[in-house]
Structure 1
Amino acid sequence: MQELGSVIITLEEYLFRSSTRASAAELQKLIADDFIEVGAAGNRFGKSEVLSRLPSEDAPEITADNYEVRRLSDECVQLLYQATLKKRGDTDPSYSRRCSIWVMNSGSWQMCYHQGTPCQPF
């Protein structure tokens, strides 16, 4: 389980990188076709919105810790963590508790769900 947890955390953190977020090809590989995200404002969107928005977005600086990996089945893993986001030009970072669900699709891990809930600084 520890090895699987490291793989999932590495994939999650790979999605934090501005170079990954700017690459539609990388996002296509890492995001499942049936992906759902519930954003901080409560909006729900899917993979097509991610592919159209992220590559042109000015990526924030994201740091995360306090990871908790939960195996839901042989091919499904939940990742819980807390994140600090700093957008370019903002003086104060924002804080959130995050949840991602990763599934094994055709031999590769893909994110099928993500939610970030704003919270007080930690």
Structure 2
Amino acid sequence: MAEEEFLKTGLSPSHALTLMNIDFQPGLSQKELSEIMNIKPSTTTRFIDKLETRGLVERKTKGKSSYLYPTPKGIDLQVEISQCWTNLYKRYTKVLGQEKGVELTEIIDKAATKLEENIHE
């Protein structure tokens, strides 16, 4: 379902989530982004490379660190990405029912929060 919803953006759900994180926190380092998303640095690099190639993100290097910023094109795509997430929620809620759809969203949110807290300990 997620892949279908995000087709119109030209991004996978993972790439869209990466862009969202950069849009919401411009100036993140690649290391911080890897921690937030709970993915390996090599995966983060691949995601950023694709977003950079598409003109959605730019890297700014300071010393040995790279910091990530959305381009105007990346910022503009955020509205469409948000709509895709909304549509995905509606689709799985239609299948699972409203109560289970909300429950699933809450479980995912709690799991993501717990994983993020664990990373920063």
TM-score (norm 1): 0.30
TM-score (norm 2): 0.30
Report the structure, 1 or 2, having the larger strand content.
Answer: 1
Give the structure, 1 or 2, with the largest relative contact order (CA under 8 Å, sep 6 or more). Answer: 2
